[in-house]
Amino acid sequence: MEVKKINEFVVGDYIEGFFLIKSVNIKTTNNNKKYLDITLSDKTGEINAKMWDCTEEDESKYKDNCMIKIRGNVTEWQGNNQFKIDRIRLANDEDDINIEEYVQAAPEDPKFMYGEILKYIDKIKNPDINKITSHVFKENKDKLLYYPAAKSNHHAIRSGLLYHIKRMLMTAEKLSEVYLNINKDFLFAGVILHDVAKIYEMDSNELGIVSDYTNEGQLLGHIIQGIKIIDKEGEKLGIDREVSMLLQHMILSHHNEPEFGSPKRPMIPEAELLHYIDMIDARMYDMEKALEGIEPKQFSDRVWVLNNRRLYKPAVNEE
Amino acid sequence: MEVKKINEFVVGDYIEGFFLIKSVNIKTTNNNKKYLDITLSDKTGEINAKMWDCTEEDESKYKDNCMIKIRGNVTEWQGNNQFKIDRIRLANDEDDINIEEYVQAAPEDPKFMYGEILKYIDKIKNPDINKITSHVFKENKDKLLYYPAAKSNHHAIRSGLLYHIKRMLMTAEKLSEVYLNINKDFLFAGVILHDVAKIYEMDSNELGIVSDYTNEGQLLGHIIQGIKIIDKEGEKLGIDREVSMLLQHMILSHHNEPEFGSPKRPMIPEAELLHYIDMIDARMYDMEKALEGIEPKQFSDRVWVLNNRRLYKPAVNEE
Amino acid sequence: MEVKKINEFVVGDYIEGFFLIKSVNIKTTNNNKKYLDITLSDKTGEINAKMWDCTEEDESKYKDNCMIKIRGNVTEWQGNNQFKIDRIRLANDEDDINIEEYVQAAPEDPKFMYGEILKYIDKIKNPDINKITSHVFKENKDKLLYYPAAKSNHHAIRSGLLYHIKRMLMTAEKLSEVYLNINKDFLFAGVILHDVAKIYEMDSNELGIVSDYTNEGQLLGHIIQGIKIIDKEGEKLGIDREVSMLLQHMILSHHNEPEFGSPKRPMIPEAELLHYIDMIDARMYDMEKALEGIEPKQFSDRVWVLNNRRLYKPAVNEE
Amino acid sequence: MEVKKINEFVVGDYIEGFFLIKSVNIKTTNNNKKYLDITLSDKTGEINAKMWDCTEEDESKYKDNCMIKIRGNVTEWQGNNQFKIDRIRLANDEDDINIEEYVQAAPEDPKFMYGEILKYIDKIKNPDINKITSHVFKENKDKLLYYPAAKSNHHAIRSGLLYHIKRMLMTAEKLSEVYLNINKDFLFAGVILHDVAKIYEMDSNELGIVSDYTNEGQLLGHIIQGIKIIDKEGEKLGIDREVSMLLQHMILSHHNEPEFGSPKRPMIPEAELLHYIDMIDARMYDMEKALEGIEPKQFSDRVWVLNNRRLYKPAVNEE
Amino acid sequence: MEVKKINEFVVGDYIEGFFLIKSVNIKTTNNNKKYLDITLSDKTGEINAKMWDCTEEDESKYKDNCMIKIRGNVTEWQGNNQFKIDRIRLANDEDDINIEEYVQAAPEDPKFMYGEILKYIDKIKNPDINKITSHVFKENKDKLLYYPAAKSNHHAIRSGLLYHIKRMLMTAEKLSEVYLNINKDFLFAGVILHDVAKIYEMDSNELGIVSDYTNEGQLLGHIIQGIKIIDKEGEKLGIDREVSMLLQHMILSHHNEPEFGSPKRPMIPEAELLHYIDMIDARMYDMEKALEGIEPKQFSDRVWVLNNRRLYKPAVNEE
Amino acid sequence: MEVKKINEFVVGDYIEGFFLIKSVNIKTTNNNKKYLDITLSDKTGEINAKMWDCTEEDESKYKDNCMIKIRGNVTEWQGNNQFKIDRIRLANDEDDINIEEYVQAAPEDPKFMYGEILKYIDKIKNPDINKITSHVFKENKDKLLYYPAAKSNHHAIRSGLLYHIKRMLMTAEKLSEVYLNINKDFLFAGVILHDVAKIYEMDSNELGIVSDYTNEGQLLGHIIQGIKIIDKEGEKLGIDREVSMLLQHMILSHHNEPEFGSPKRPMIPEAELLHYIDMIDARMYDMEKALEGIEPKQFSDRVWVLNNRRLYKPAVNEE
C-alpha cells in the first residue's frame, strides 16, 4: 500500500490516502447496477475513479467537495489512468486534514499576492485612476482571495485570478522600463481591472472550484460586466469621465479581436500592451503545465487550449 | 436654365436653384489655384460640385450646412455626374427657404412617429419593462426626433432612427401574431432600445447630418453605450434585475455574430427575432434605395453595403 | 408499472406501453452475445433502448417502423436516459393502435394546412405566377401531406414541410403589410416553392421518417432540383420567361450565402425577404424545442443547430 | 512615324495605323471640354487612348467595335502607357481591313478546333453520353465558334471557349492514360459541357468581345444554366437518367467549393479530375500571359487573377 | 473454420490464419482484468482485435510488427467489425511466412519503380538540375524503396512514396505534351524532390509502417527539411544558384496556400503544375480507395480526408 | 522663406532647404508635358513633390537618393500636403551636407546598438547557442549596421533592424525575470536571429532605403532564408544538432500562424515568447508613430498596418 500524490500514480499501484471529491455522479452499469463515478483531486492533479456496487447510503453520503479517505488500485481505461475504489469513508475531525493541501492552488499565498498588488496600486500616480482601481479592487477583496481565473482554461486553480494579475503586473512594470512612452497608470489599472468581473461571471466556492457560470455571466460575459462596474463606480466616485471611458475601453478591447469577444480593437498603446501581457501570462502558464513530466526530447500530447499543438521539451539547458 | 431636383440632373443641363452644402473643402489645382470642392444635396440626393477660382471671401463664406443659391451646369467626371458652379450666393431671409425641404429625411413626420412609438410602449404590459423603456425613450426625445440611424449606411437621413424603430415595431407586432410564444413586452422593448445609444455614438446636427463619431462612440460603440444606459437607469428606477439583464442581453446580441460586434449570440427567442427584424428593415431600406430609378429588366450598380450585389428590377408586376 | 410518454420518463421508472421502433440494429456484446439496439419513439420524443440476449426470432421480427408493446425500466448511461427492455411483442390488430398517435408530427392537420396554403395561392394575382405555383404544389400533393422539412434539423417531423410553408406564408403576408413595395405574388410563390424539391431530395415514409437522401438529392440537392422543376414546368405551361427565371432565382438564393449553398445572393427584395422568413421560422422552431421543459432562470444544453448556443428561459412573463 | 503592334509601343513613339475601338466613352475635362476616352486594341493587346477636344460629330461617329485609323504618340500616365490621338478617321472599304486581324483571338482556327472536339466526342463509347454531348455541342455550334471563355479573366479572347475546351480534352485524354479507372466517357463529356452555358451567361459579339452578362446569367449563372440544358435535352433525347444526373453533377461541382460557386463538391473521380483540368488550363493560360515580355531573372507585376502573385521568369532553360 | 483476407471478413465468421500485429496495447477491463488490444493487418486491410484474459507472458510476447497465427471469430462493436481471439501464437520459421505478403504495399515492385524514376531523371537535360536530382534521389535509395508517402493519409502503404512519385512523373510528362512552354527539367525534378524529405519527417520501419514523426519532422516539417537538403547538396555539388533556389521554391510552394503549409504561392508555372499533379495523384488514390467495394448506385461513407465527402459509384460504364 | 523640417510643413509655407530624393519618376501631364514626380524626405518624414515643365537635363540629373536643394511652396492635393518645386539644384561639396541628417534613422547610434547586442550575446551561457549566434551576427555586421527592418512597415528606417533587435532583447531580458523557467539562451538567440535574413530578403542601400526585394527574398522569404543560414553555419561550426534545430524552429514559428507565414506554430515556450516580443515591439513602434502630432482627445487617421484602426490620444497623463 502506498501514499502517493495523484501525479505520481502508476498503473498497478495500490493506494491509500485522502483526496477531494471534485465532482461525483451516480451511474448505472449495463447490468443495471449503480456505481459512483468520481473525479478525485489533490494538489497535484485529478483522476477519474469508480466505486462499483454502491449502496443507497453511499449515494447520499459522498458529495462534491467532500474530503474522503480511500483505498484502491490504479488501472487503465482507454489509455488514461483510472482509480478503482475498494474502500471509502468521509474524512473526519480526527483525521486533522487541512483541506487547502488537497486543492490545486496558486503557488503563492493569496494574502501575500493581494498585498503585492496593493503596492502596484500605490504606484498609480493619477489620483482618479488610482482611486477607482483601488476602490474596485478592495471592494471585491473577499472573492479575489480565492477565485480562479477560469472554469477550465489557464489559471483554473484556487487564487488563480490573483496570481494571474500579479504576474501580469510584474510584466507590465518591466515593459514600461523598455517602452518609456507608456502611461503606467493606465497599464497597471488595466491589468488589475481587466478580468475583475470574472468573480461575477462564474460561481466559485472557496476552494476555487467553479460549479458553473452565473446567468449574467452567460448572457453578458465578464467583459461587459467589468465595463458596467467601472462605469457605475466611476460615476459614484466622481472620476474624470475620460479616465473611466479609457479603462472601459481597455477592458472591452483586451481580447483584441471581435471573434475573441472584443468588439473594438485597442486604440491606445496601453490597451494593446494589456492584450499581449495577458496572452503571455496565459500561454506561459499553459505551456509550463503541458510540459510537466515530459521527458527531454519528447513531445506532449496535443493541447486543445494551445490550438491543438504538441509541445517539445528540449534536452539542451542553460549552463 | 432649369429648376430640377438632384436626382433628375442629366449631363448637359444648365441648372439654377437652392441647395444645401453638405460638406465643403478648399483645394488647390495643379496650377496652384484654389477652388471649393462641395457636396451639394437636396431632398432627393447628392452631387459633387466644383467652384473653380474661388476668392478668399468665398473660402470663409461657404461652410458646411449652409443653404446656397447656385447656377451652373451638369458635367461628367469619370463616369459620375459633377456640377460646375458658375454663380453662387448664400440664401437669405428674402428667399424664404424652408431648410427641411432640402434635407433627406424620413417619409413621415417625426412627431407623428414619436407618437406612434409611444402607443407601442403602452402595449408593454410588464410594469418593469414598460417603465424602463418609456423612461429611456422619453428622456432622449429631443435627439430622437432628428437623429439618423447611421452616418452613411441605412437610414442615414433626418429622423431615420425613429423611422427605423417604427417600422421594426410594426414588423415585431405582426410576427408576434404568428409566433405566439414570443414575449411581446421584451420584443417591443428590445426594438425601441436596441439602437437608442446611437445618439451618443454619433454627433448629428438638427438636420440629421452626422459630422463624426463621438470619442466614446469610437472607443466603446453604441452597443456598449446602450447597455450602460439600461444598467444605470434600471438601477435608478428599481427595475427587476432579470428584466434589466435581458434587455442588456438583447442589445448586446442584436448584431448576432462576434464579427459583427455582438460578443454573445441571442439566447432568448426575442433577441433572435430582434436581430432578424433589424436586418429586414435595413435591407428593405437599402434595396428600395438601390432600385430607385432603375428601369425594368435592368440591374443596379454594385451596392457596397449589400455585399457588393447588383439588384434587379423585374418587369413583372402584381396585377 | 406506469404508462408514460417518453418525455416524462425518469430514471428508475418501470414502464409498460406501446412505442414505435424508429430504427433497430443487431449488435454484439463483449461476451459475444447478440442484443437489439433500438431507437424507440412516441409523439413526445425518442429514447435509446436495449434488448439484451435476443433470439434469432427476435432479430427477424422487430424492424424499423414497427409498433411494439414493451415492458422495462428506465436507466441511465453516460448522462442520458436509456430503456432496458424486459418484455417485448409486436402490436396487433386487437391492440387497436392508431399509429399516428405514436409519431412526432406537426401540430396541425395536414389536410387543413394544405387547404390554407391553397388560399394563399388564390391571393397570387399574376396569372403566370399563380399558374405555376398552383400546378407544382398540387402535382405533389400526396407527398407534401406527410413529408418532413428535414432529415434531422428543424421541422424533422411528419408534415413538417407543410407546417413550415404555412407559417412562412403567414409571416410573408404580415411583412407585406409593412413593406408595401414588396411584390406579394413573388413572395408567396417563393415561400411555397423554395423547399418543394425536398420531397425529391429525401426518401421519407408516410410517417414522415426519412431513411436517407436520394441519389439525386446527394449529387444535386433540393435547390438545384427545385430550379429544374420550375424550369421544365414553366416551359410546359407556357409561363412568362422572366417569371420562371425569377422564381428559379428565389429558390437559388434562399440560403443567402455561397457557403450555405446559394451560389447567388438575392438580387430582388422578395428573394431577400424569403431568406429571412425561412430563417425566422426555422429558428423559432428550434428555439421553442430547445426550451421545452427548461425551468425558469435555467439554461438549456448546447444546441448544435443553433451554433452551439445554450438558450435561456426567463422567469419574467407578460402580465 | 511607325507601324507597330500595341505590345511593341514604347513611350515617345509616334504611331500610325489601324486599330479596333474596344470601348469608347465621352468625358469632360476639369475645364469643361469634352474628349473621347477610348480602349484601343489589336491582336497583341490593349491601350488607353485620349482624343482631346472632340467635336459633336466625333462623339456620334466613333462607337464600340469600330475599326479606326489613327495617328498620335505614346505617352505615360501614372506608370502606364497611354495614347494621345492626333488624327482619327473610320476605316473604310478601301482600307481593305480584315477585322479578325485586329482582335485578340485563340491561336488556332475555330473551325479546326471545332473539328478536333468532334473527334473527342467520337471517342465517347456510351451511346447516351455520346448522344447528349454531341447534341448540345452541335446545337450551339454558331456561338461556340467565336465565344470567349470569360468577360475579363482567362481566355477572354475570340474563340477562347473552344480553345479552353480543346486543350482540356487533350489533358483529359493524357490523364486517362495514367489513371486507368477513370471513365473517359464522363470525363470527355464533362469537359465539353462544363462551361457550355457561358454562351447564355454572357452577351458576346462575333469578335468575341463581351458587352455584359445576360439577365439570366446574372440571376442564375452558367453552372445552373448548364444543368438546366442537360436536364431538358436529356429528357428530350430519352437519355438514361443516371447519365443525365451525373453530367449535371459534374457541371455543378466543377468549381469544387461552395465559395467558388459549387454548392456540391465532386462525388465521382471524373468530376474531381474535371475541376483540376479546368484549373490547370486556366492557370497555364494566365501565367503564360503574365510572363509575356518579362526579362529573365525578373518578376512580373502583381496579377490579380492569380491571387495577386508576382511571377518569376527563370534564366535557366532546358538544354 | 475459414481462411480469409481481412477485407473479406463477415460478422459471424470463424477464422484461422496468419496476420501482422500493426500495433498492440495492454488494457484493463472494468473488472480489472488485463487484455490485449491489437490492430491486426494483412495486405487487404486492418481490423481491431481483442485478446481477453491475457497472461503476463502474453503481454511480453506479442509486440508491434510481429507475425502471429490466430484463431477466433468476427464480431461487431458499434457498427464496426471486431475480432475476438481464441488462440494465438507467434509465427515461427517452420510456418515459412513471407512477411511482405501481409503488409499493404504499392501495387508495383519498388525496384521496378525506382528504375522507372531513374529513366525520368535521364530525361532531365539541364546538367545542374539533372545532377542534383540524381544525387539526392540516389543518396536516399535505401529508404525510398520502402517508405510510405504518409502516416495515415494517401499512399500510407509500403513503397507508397515511390508509387506516388512515379505516377506523378507519368502525369507530368503527359501534361508537358499539352503545355509546351513548360520546362520539363524543372517539372520532373520538382516531382521527384517535392516530398523526398518525408523520409526524414517520419520514422518508418521496413514494412512501411510509420511509428511516429521524427522530432525534426514535427518542429520543421518535410517542406523545410527538403529545402535544406537541396540548399546544402546544391552547394556541395556546385549547382547553379538559380537552379537550387527554384527547386527550393518548388518544394516550398507545392502545398499552394499558406494555410496548407506553403508560405509562398507558386511563382513559376512549373511550381503551379507540380501542385496540381500532386493533388490529382492524392485525390485519385483516395477516391479509388473510398470506392472499393461500393455497389453501383451507392454512396461510400463520409471520407474525412476528402473534406468529409461521400463518393458515388455510378452504374454507367464505358461500353 | 522658411527653413523647416517636413513634419512642420503647413499649407501655404514657402520653403527653402536641402532634402533627399527618396524616389523620382518622370511623368506626363494631360497636355503632354513632362514633369518630375518626387518623394522628398528628411529625418522627420516624407512629402510628395512635383516639378512641372522639367527639361531633358533635369530628367537625367535628379535620381533616387540624391541630395538636392529646392525652393517652393506647400500646397494641398486631395487632403494631403504636396510640394510644388520652383527651383532645384543638386547639393554639392560646398554645401557641406551630412547626408545622414536627411535620412529617417533609428534614434540610437548603430555602433552603440551593435555593441549593446554583443553584450547580450555574452550572456548566452550555452557554448553552442553562444557560438552560432555570435558567429552569424558578427558575419553580417556590415549590413546590420544600416539595414531597416522592413521595406515599408514597422522600423522601415536606417538601422531599424538593429533597433528592433535591441529593444526586443531588452524586453526578453525583462520577461525572463518574471517567467523564470524560460531558457534565456534560446530566447536571446532567437531574438537576435529571427529576422537576420532580412538582409538577404531585401536590397537596401547604406541609407537604409530598400529598392526592392531580392529574387531569393521573393521566392523563399526571410524565414526560409534564415533557417538555411542556421542550418549551414550550425554544421560548419559543429553545433549540437538539437540546438540548431530549435533555433531553426524559433525562426520558422515566429510569425505564429500559417496565414502569416509560419507553417509551424511555436512548440517551445521560448518560441512563443519570441513571437509576442516581436509583436509588442512592432506595435509599439507603429502606434507611437501613428500618434505623433495628434492632439489630446483626438483620433489619428486609419492606420492600415494596424488592421485599419484609428488610434486615440488621451488627455490624461501620469502626474
Option in F228, F231, F263 nearest E263 (CB):
F263
Shortest Cα distance from B203 to chain F (angstroms)? 15
Q: What does the pLDDT look like over B158-194, one tens digit per residue? A: 999 999 999 999 999 999 999 999 999 999 999 999 9
Higher-scoring residue by pLDDT: D13, E34: D13
Is the alpha carbon torsion for E134, E137, E140, E146 positive or negative? negative
Grade residue D318 by pLDDT with cuts at 50, 70 and 90: low
For residue C188, the chain B residues in CB contact (below 8 A) are none
Higher-scoring residue by pLDDT: F146, B99: F146
Shortest Cα distance from D284 to chain E (angstroms)? 7
Grade residue F79 by pLDDT with cuts at 50, 70 and 90: low
Residue A28 has pLDDT above 90, yes or no: no
Q: What does the pLDDT look like over D186-208, one tens digit per residue? A: 999 999 999 999 999 999 988 88
For residue C76, the chain A residues in CB contact (below 8 A) are 27-28
Query: Does E215 contact A312 at a Cβ distance shorter than 8 Å?
Result: yes
Percent of chain E clearing pLDDT 90 (strictly above): 64
Residue of D224, D245, D255, D257 best to disrupt the C interface, most CBs of C under 10 A = D224
Nearest CA to A202 out of A276, A246, A152 is that of A152
Q: Which three cell numbers stand for residue E70?
A: 490466430
Nearest CA to C279 out of C302, C267, C291, C262 is that of C262
For residue E50, the chain C residues in CB contact (below 8 A) are 30
Compute the distance between CA of residue F313 and CA of residue F298 in angstroms, rounded to an integer. 6
Three-class SS state of B263: coil
Query: Does D28 contact B75 at a Cβ distance shorter than 8 Å?
Result: yes
- Identify the closest residue of chain D to B314 by CA–CA distance: D215
Option in C221, C246, C248 nearest D263 (CB):
C221
* pLDDT reported for residue E79: 61
Q: How many inter-chain contacts (A to C, CB under 8 Å) are there?
A: 22
Q: What does the pLDDT look like over D121-147, one tens digit per residue? A: 999 999 999 999 999 999 999 999 999
Q: What is the pTM of this model?
A: 0.90
* pLDDT reported for residue F35: 86
- The DSSP result for A127-194, as a single string, is HHHHHHHHHHHHHTHHHHTT--S-SSSTT-SBTHHHHHHHHHHHHHHHHHHHSTTS-HHHHHHHHHHT
Q: Which chains touch D (3 or more CB pairs under 8 A)?
A: B, C, E, F
* pLDDT reported for residue A104: 87
- Identify the closest residue of chain D to C244 by CA–CA distance: D216
Compute the distance between CA of residue B128 and CA of residue B183 in angstroms, rounded to an integer. 14
Centre a 10 Å sphere on the Cβ of residue F127 and count the other Cβ atoms it contains: 13
Average pLDDT over residues F215-225: 97
Which segments in chain C show pLDDT lower than 70? Answer: 1, 28-32, 77-79, 317-319
Compute the distance between CA of residue D219 and CA of residue B170 in angstroms, rounded to an integer. 31
Grade residue F65 by pLDDT with cuts at 50, 70 and 90: confident
For residue A11, the chain E residues in CB contact (below 8 A) are 28
For residue B222, the chain A residues in CB contact (below 8 A) are none
Within 8 A by CB and 6+ apart from B298, the residues are: B312, B313
Q: Would you say C132 and C189 are in contact if contact means Cβ atoms under 8 Å apart?
A: yes
Task: State how beta strands B34-42 and B14-28 pair.
Answer: antiparallel
Residue of B214, B216, B219 best to disrupt the A interface, most CBs of A under 10 A = B219
Q: Would you say B263 and B249 are in contact if contact means Cβ atoms under 8 Å apart?
A: no
Shortest Cα distance from D267 to chain C (angstroms)? 7
For residue D25, the chain B residues in CB contact (below 8 A) are 79
For residue F177, the chain A residues in CB contact (below 8 A) are 170, 174
Nearest CA to F244 out of F236, F234, F253, F252 is that of F234
Residue B30 has pLDDT above 70, yes or no: no
Query: Which residues in chain C belong to E strands, given as ranges?
Result: 14-28, 34-42, 45-51, 67-77, 80-90, 202-204, 210-213, 298-299, 312-313
* pLDDT reported for residue F318: 55
Compute the distance between CA of residue B313 and CA of residue A110 in angstroms, rounded to an integer. 69
Query: Does E267 contact F218 at a Cβ distance shorter than 8 Å?
Result: yes
* pLDDT reported for residue D41: 87
* pLDDT reported for residue A43: 85
Q: Which three cell numbers stand for residue B217?
A: 462612440
Residue B308 has pLDDT above 80, yes or no: yes
- The DSSP result for F65-93, as a single string, is T-EEEEEEEEEEETTEEEEEEEEEEE--G
Q: How many inter-chain contacts (E to F, CB under 8 Å) are there?
A: 78
Compute the distance between CA of residue C129 and CA of residue C124 in angstroms, rounded to an integer. 7
Grade residue B78 by pLDDT with cuts at 50, 70 and 90: low
Shortest Cα distance from F226 to chain A (angstroms)? 21
* pLDDT reported for residue A79: 61
Residue E41 has pLDDT above 90, yes or no: no
Give the lowest-confidence range in C55-59, C166-170, E5-9, F98-102: F98-102
Q: Which three cell numbers stand for residue F284?
A: 509599439
* pLDDT reported for residue F43: 85
Option in A50, A76, A297 nearest E215 (CB):
A297
* pLDDT reported for residue A318: 55
Compute the distance between CA of residue A216 and CA of residue E279 in angstroms, rounded to an integer. 50
* pLDDT reported for residue D206: 87
Shortest Cα distance from A4 to chain E (angstroms)? 21
Query: Does A307 contact F242 at a Cβ distance shorter than 8 Å?
Result: no
Compute the distance between CA of residue C302 and CA of residue B267 in angstroms, rounded to an integer. 11
Average pLDDT over residues A236-257: 97
For residue C272, the chain B residues in CB contact (below 8 A) are 283-284, 287
Average pLDDT over residues E156-164: 94
- The DSSP result for F120-170, as a single string, is HHHT--SHHHHHHHHHHHHHTHHHHTT--S-SSSTT-SBTHHHHHHHHHHH
Burial of residue C85 (number of CB atoms within 10 Å: 0-12, 13-18, 19+): buried
Cell numbers 518630375: residue: F36
* pLDDT reported for residue F29: 66
Provide the 8-state DSSP code for C82. Answer: E
The DSSP bridge partners found for residue F51 are F36
Whether there are 3 or more C-beta pairs closer than 8 Å between E and A is yes
Average pLDDT over residues A266-271: 98
Cell numbers 512514396: residue: E161
Query: Does D310 contact E272 at a Cβ distance shorter than 8 Å?
Result: no
- D277-288 b/e (C-beta count within 10 Å ≥ 16 → b): bbbbbbbbbbbe
* pLDDT reported for residue B28: 67
Q: What does the pLDDT look like over D247-294, one tens digit per residue? A: 999 999 999 999 999 999 999 999 999 999 999 999 999 999 999 878
Q: What does the pLDDT look like over E48-106, one tens digit per residue? A: 899 988 888 888 889 888 889 999 989 876 567 889 999 999 998 888 888 777 888 99
* pLDDT reported for residue A316: 82
Q: Would you say D22 and D46 are in contact if contact means Cβ atoms under 8 Å apart?
A: yes
Centre a 10 Å sphere on the Cβ of residue F95 and count the other Cβ atoms it contains: 11
Average pLDDT over residues B139-151: 95
Compute the distance between CA of residue A279 and CA of residue A302 in angstroms, rounded to an integer. 19
Q: Which chains touch C (3 or more CB pairs under 8 A)?
A: A, B, D, E
* pLDDT reported for residue C306: 93
Nearest CA to E264 out of D260, F217, D281 is that of F217
Query: Does A263 contact B267 at a Cβ distance shorter than 8 Å?
Result: no
The DSSP bridge partners found for residue D16 are D71
- Identify the closest residue of chain C to E80 by CA–CA distance: C27
Three-class SS state of B304: helix
Shortest Cα distance from D23 to chain C (angstroms)? 27
Query: Does B174 contact C179 at a Cβ distance shorter than 8 Å?
Result: no
For residue F50, the chain D residues in CB contact (below 8 A) are none
Residue F233 has pLDDT above 60, yes or no: yes
Residue E299 has pLDDT above 60, yes or no: yes
Determine if residue F204 is left, alpha or beta; phi over 0 gives left, psi from -120 to 50 gives alpha, anything else beta: beta
Q: What does the pLDDT look like over A180-227, one tens digit per residue? A: 999 999 999 999 999 999 999 999 988 888 888 999 999 999 999 999
* pLDDT reported for residue F267: 98
Provide the 8-state DSSP code for F264. Answer: S
Q: Which three cell numbers stand for residue D148?
A: 470567349
Residue B215 has pLDDT above 60, yes or no: yes
Give the mean pLDDT of chain E: 91
Shortest Cα distance from C120 to chain E (angstroms)? 39
Within 8 A by CB and 6+ apart from D15, the residues are: D1, D2, D3, D4, D9, D70, D71, D72, D73, D74, D83
